[in-house]
Structure 1
Amino acid sequence: MNRRERVNRVDLPPPPAGTAVAHRADAYAAAPLLNCLLREIAEPLPEPGDRPVYRLPGGRLLRVRGGRRPAEPEVETADGWQRVGHTELVKLTAEELTRHTGLSNHELPAEMIDSRDAVAALLTARERATAPGDPYQRSEQCLVTGHPYHPAPKSRGGGPVAAWLPYAPEAHARFPLVLLGVREDAVVEEGDTTALDALGQAPPGYRLLPAHPWQLDLVSCAEAFEDGRLVRLGTTGFETWPTAAIRTVYAPAPDLFLKFSLDVRITNDIRRLWRHDLLKLRRTDDAVVRAFAERPAAWLSDRGYRTADFAFEELAVLVRDGLRGHVRPGTTPLLAAALVEDFEGNPLDTAEDPAAWWEAYLGAVVPPVLSAFADHGVVLEAHLQNTLVAVDADGTPVQALFRDAEGVKLLPEVPRGAGWERLVYCLVVNHLCEVAAVLAERHPGFDAWPAARRELSRHDLPEAAALLSAPTLPGKTNLLLRWTGADGADARYLPLPNPLAGR
């Protein structure tokens, strides 16, 4: 077992010798499902002992090995505490949600099982793959657990493993893009898409349109190929690699990020580039570019999109800034989400002073998010997967980089209160709480919240001041959202204790 595998499992129970991939997959898949179950519908009980006990809506008692990644779930029976595996946990969750909501749902349990099976496939693939030498790429491709508060974070639409594994970031995939030619009279585009024209050569009367190989497997364009509106032009002469977002790839040679449509449900949404989002892209991205002007933080601009009028959403590709010219010289960008799941090269492995590291992290990440809101009415979706943190040679954070205009909201298009709630969820609950928990796990007794409070206090923003005394924070209810069939963008929150208050 190499060092990276040991680190990745730091918060899971140490497996006995010879444990199969299936057992490891169960543990990885159970942790986020338990997080959702305990946060959203379980009642914590003041039971003595080293394992937290919870009452479920149907009256059953559930206990776990607590922590950032809960594990080893057990249900109380007439014969004592009975361990439940992932399959039994899915069944228990479905039963309790039916009691709690009065609704049935056959789709979500299948997604939970699919997510667990995907983890098993990824673990097997990682054992056979060679990890990339680039620490940034390793950080983007290490998320085997994924969203820590989603019941099925690794579900890939229920399709066969062979269909999606060649394009999985967690398997360290690399692949060329398919090049298509779209007849000029069928092209729809907006913004700066000139970088696409340099990816290959289109024949006269056509414009170049790159496509994700998996994207073409999921959508049929047979008629357009037959009548000549669409032609195949081979593949790019270089490889790309998928980021944590799976449908967004990085092309190192031209230094571009390209985001595609995938007709697959991943976490809460079908991952298409939806028409309504594309039509407002320029307005949104321009607003964020202005908000980041003359700031040390960086915004990876979504420059524009190109597609075909006969498959507007299905064939859309979005052009995003690369890293060069944005990342501070002499620093290494890392995905923030990787800091909490871990990877070889994680600066938390070598940080000797957690207080100094955390203060530097807060100083890089928090000010640009609050300033964009206060000065420009921009609500960044600054969660862990949309944030990069550049570190110096010592691993100290010196710069934050943000991405993904699709998730950005603008005031007054959304009410100020709703925008602030979303900002707090993404930045504090989804992001800072997770990094703070890792620091406390690695450095027992370390309290991250006084420094966070000091950082927030520096900003002359009424909402920030109120946050420091608010008893609760908004926690997104991904389990209930998926069970009740709510729209993926329709965030609903429940109150969580605010660690910033009363310090």
Structure 2
Amino acid sequence: MPPTRPSAVPPQGDTGARADAYATAPLLNCLLREVARPVPGAGEPRVYRLPSGERLLRVRGGRRPAAPEVNAGGTWHRVGHAELVKLVAEELQAHTGLSNPELPAEMADSRDAVAALLTARDRTTPPDDPYRRSEQSLLTGHPYHPAPKARGGGPVAAWLPYAPEAYAAFPLVLLGVREDAVAEEGDVSALDAFGTAPPGYQLLPAHPWQLDLVGPSLTDAFADGRLIRLGTTAFDTWPTAAIRTLYAPEHDLFVKFSLDVRITNDVRRLWRHDLLKLRRTNTAVSAAAPSVTPGAWLSDRGYRTADFAFEELAVLVRDGLHTHLAPGTTPLLAAALVESFDDTPLDGLHDPAAWWTAYLRAVVPPTLELFARHGVVIEAHLQNCLIAVDATGTPVQALFRDAEGVKLLPEVSRAAGWERLVYCLVVNHLVEIAEALCERHPDLDPWPAVRTAFERQSLRLDLPEATALLTAPTLPGKTNLLLRWTGADGADARYLPLPNPLRAR
């Protein structure tokens, strides 16, 4: 059976070497995509010229590059993660003319977080539930982010008990908010089943890590009775890949919290402006989704918070799985299919072409139909998409989530919406799944099936953008490294052109 772990990661050995390998691969991906330039005819290992013009970089491996070496004076030498971080900072300063002391610290924090997660995993048994195992499998994380596992620079003991990658599960803290201080919208009645609030108060679950982070700012509210502590839930929740979104299996419900920590590009608060537009956005997707098969939408039903700590204590209520899943299927996080987790359906496929066709049939039609017929742009990237598979591991259905990232036409232009859709669906999602599949089945050409899927939807939906995509020379690739280096707003998306594999060759 082909290895399912990224080729950059040693199968065993000391934790430091494994952490370096996990952290190096996405950082190299960013560097090679965004600022390095390939040297023609270099072959394998691949050779790139760096922006300063003074150094060459060569790497081995495919979608998860490994073993970086630098040539600055005629001699190649290996660089570890710490030296690579220093090199990247120097090259970005040469490329942009800007300095940024924060991002190198984030890169180091991300690597150290991986080391802590690996240590925790070595003494923890993975969960039996395949869905939970898939959500909690992501040791690499975003494959094109320079610091995908950074945890805000805080001590390991503060965040490790709540880390999905360490197979965490824990009860929620229960707070009571005085009724005259409650702010809520939508249907959040499911929260009331999490415990019991005394007369004059409403129940407000809280993420224990978030409460630790913002606790000092709530001293007055606890002192004057606007906020009271009511213990913890009688059941455990467990964190999904999104870290601050937890699943409560006993209630079949997802709850999403603020988390005052920068994870990838954003400080992960439930921002007031996002919450206030949530109802309109989610309503638009929920109204369209029932007509879009075989896809399903996990509705963000509403939020509850305290008016004196609107963002800090907000909790969002999201549909669970059971009413949406096709009968007899098991959901798996799409992002987990490109990483290593036990029993991934990609291992042991007898007919990879048929599996890939089924995957495309589940993911592509609903995404394009929401855009073409309803003006809805969902973020159909790997972490926002669950794939329901049958008993043979064959994809049957896609379930999409996260109204916070949804864009609506004409609030954004059709061109901007389409660009965002192509980035999320094709570059971030289908390219990654296709490459993971091809690692196991090198003889498979995945792109004719993708072209067929887009051609069919273009005809069915009268979607000229889908037709044009098949002849476009490039696709939009998000520049996460440059966005973080230049201090751009986390919600910004800037793209550079990438070769389009859908274009007939």
Smaller-chain TM-score range? over 0.9
Does structure 2 retain, via aligned residues, the 8 Å contact 1:143–1:338? yes
Establish whether residue 255 from structure 1 lines up as the match of residue 247 from structure 2.
no
1: CA distance, partners of 2:287 / 2:7: 41
> Structure 1: which amino acid aligns with 2:491?
A
Residue 62 of structure 1 is matched in structure 2 by: 57
- Residue pairs, 1:52-201, within 5 angstroms: 52-59=46-53, 60-78=55-73, 80-201=75-196
1: CA distance, partners of 2:300 / 2:348: 34
Residue 490 of structure 1 is matched in structure 2 by: 492
Q: How far is the alpha carbon of 1:350 from its aligned partner?
A: 2.4
Does structure 2 retain, via aligned residues, the 8 Å contact 1:335–1:388? yes
Q: How far is the alpha carbon of 1:291 from its aligned partner?
A: 1.4
Does structure 1 retain, via aligned residues, the 8 Å contact 2:257–2:269? yes
Residue 391 of structure 1 is matched in structure 2 by: 389
Establish whether residue 409 from structure 1 lines up as the match of residue 403 from structure 2.
no
**Secondary structure, counterpart of 1:149 in structure 2:** coil
1:315 pairs, out of 313, 316, 326, with 313
Q: Structure 2 length as normaliser, TM-score?
A: 0.97
**Secondary structure, counterpart of 1:502 in structure 2:** coil
2: CA distance, partners of 1:305 / 1:496: 39
2: CA distance, partners of 1:86 / 1:342: 21
Q: How far is the alpha carbon of 1:502 from its aligned partner?
A: 2.1
Establish whether residue 244 from structure 1 lines up as the match of residue 253 from structure 2.
no
Residue 20 of structure 2 is matched in structure 1 by: 26
Q: How far is the alpha carbon of 1:399 from its aligned partner?
A: 0.3
Does structure 1 retain, via aligned residues, the 8 Å contact 2:6–2:340? no
1:356 pairs, out of 354, 357, 360, with 354
Does structure 2 retain, via aligned residues, the 8 Å contact 1:387–1:403? yes
2: CA distance, partners of 1:155 / 1:419: 29
**Secondary structure, counterpart of 1:264 in structure 2:** strand
Residue 455 of structure 1 is matched in structure 2 by: 453
Unmatched runs of 5 consecutive residues or more in structure 2: none
**Secondary structure, counterpart of 2:346 in structure 1:** helix
**Secondary structure, counterpart of 1:170 in structure 2:** helix
1: CA distance, partners of 2:295 / 2:340: 24
2: CA distance, partners of 1:497 / 1:139: 30
1: CA distance, partners of 2:230 / 2:188: 18
**Secondary structure, counterpart of 1:351 in structure 2:** coil
Q: How far is the alpha carbon of 1:296 from its aligned partner?
A: 2.6
> Do the aligned partners of residues 13 and 334 (structure 1) sit closer, same or farther apart at CA in structure 2, a change above 3 Å counting?
closer
Residue 333 of structure 1 is matched in structure 2 by: 331
Residue 476 of structure 2 is matched in structure 1 by: 474
2:29 pairs, out of 35, 44, 58, with 35
Residue 283 of structure 1 is matched in structure 2 by: 280
**Secondary structure, counterpart of 1:111 in structure 2:** helix
Q: Structure 1 length as normaliser, TM-score?
A: 0.97
After superposition, the C-alpha distances for 1:354-387 in whole angstroms (9 at most, x for unaligned) are: 1000000000000000000000000000000000
After superposition, the C-alpha distances for 1:245-273 in whole angstroms (9 at most, x for unaligned) are: 00000000011000000000000000000
**Secondary structure, counterpart of 1:303 in structure 2:** strand
Does structure 1 retain, via aligned residues, the 8 Å contact 2:298–2:318? yes
Q: How far is the alpha carbon of 1:133 from its aligned partner?
A: 0.4
Residue 419 of structure 1 is matched in structure 2 by: 417
> Structure 2: which amino acid aligns with 1:405?
A
**Secondary structure, counterpart of 1:420 in structure 2:** helix
> Do the aligned partners of residues 13 and 221 (structure 1) sit closer, same or farther apart at CA in structure 2, a change above 3 Å counting?
closer
- Residue pairs, 1:204-243, within 5 angstroms: 204-219=199-214, 220-243=217-240
Q: How far is the alpha carbon of 1:14 from its aligned partner?
A: 4.0
> Structure 1: which amino acid aligns with 2:352?
P
> Structure 2: which amino acid aligns with 1:271?
R
> Do the aligned partners of residues 469 and 205 (structure 1) sit closer, same or farther apart at CA in structure 2, a change above 3 Å counting?
same
After superposition, the C-alpha distances for 1:179-238 in whole angstroms (9 at most, x for unaligned) are: 000000000000000001111000000000000000101103111000100000000000
Does structure 2 retain, via aligned residues, the 8 Å contact 1:381–1:427? yes
1: CA distance, partners of 2:3 / 2:269: 34
2: CA distance, partners of 1:352 / 1:45: 38
Tell me how many residue pairs correspond in the alignment.
Answer: 497
Residue 40 of structure 2 is matched in structure 1 by: 46
**Secondary structure, counterpart of 1:473 in structure 2:** strand
Q: Percent identity?
A: 77
After superposition, the C-alpha distances for 1:24-64 in whole angstroms (9 at most, x for unaligned) are: 10000000000000000000011434200000011110000
After superposition, the C-alpha distances for 1:449-469 in whole angstroms (9 at most, x for unaligned) are: 000000000123111011011
Residue 433 of structure 1 is matched in structure 2 by: 431
Does structure 1 retain, via aligned residues, the 8 Å contact 2:8–2:61? no
Does structure 1 retain, via aligned residues, the 8 Å contact 2:23–2:111? yes
Unmatched runs of 5 consecutive residues or more in structure 1: none
2: CA distance, partners of 1:9 / 1:192: 41
> Do the aligned partners of residues 244 and 217 (structure 1) sit closer, same or farther apart at CA in structure 2, a change above 3 Å counting?
same
1: CA distance, partners of 2:91 / 2:440: 34
> Do the aligned partners of residues 274 and 197 (structure 1) sit closer, same or farther apart at CA in structure 2, a change above 3 Å counting?
same
**Secondary structure, counterpart of 1:263 in structure 2:** strand
Q: How far is the alpha carbon of 1:8 from its aligned partner?
A: 4.8
Residue 11 of structure 1 is matched in structure 2 by: 7
Residue 265 of structure 2 is matched in structure 1 by: 268
2: CA distance, partners of 1:278 / 1:300: 16
2: CA distance, partners of 1:342 / 1:318: 30
Q: How far is the alpha carbon of 1:293 from its aligned partner?
A: 1.3
**Secondary structure, counterpart of 1:398 in structure 2:** strand
**Secondary structure, counterpart of 2:246 in structure 1:** strand
> Do the aligned partners of residues 168 and 8 (structure 1) sit closer, same or farther apart at CA in structure 2, a change above 3 Å counting?
farther
Does structure 1 retain, via aligned residues, the 8 Å contact 2:10–2:17? no
2: CA distance, partners of 1:101 / 1:65: 27
2: CA distance, partners of 1:227 / 1:318: 26
**Secondary structure, counterpart of 1:441 in structure 2:** helix
2: CA distance, partners of 1:14 / 1:485: 34
Q: How far is the alpha carbon of 1:10 from its aligned partner?
A: 4.4
2: CA distance, partners of 1:92 / 1:24: 20
Residue 298 of structure 1 is matched in structure 2 by: 296
Does structure 1 retain, via aligned residues, the 8 Å contact 2:106–2:153? yes
> Structure 1: which amino acid aligns with 2:7?
D
2: CA distance, partners of 1:318 / 1:8: 34
> Structure 1: which amino acid aligns with 2:397?
Q
Q: How far is the alpha carbon of 1:329 from its aligned partner?
A: 1.1
Does structure 2 retain, via aligned residues, the 8 Å contact 1:350–1:395? no
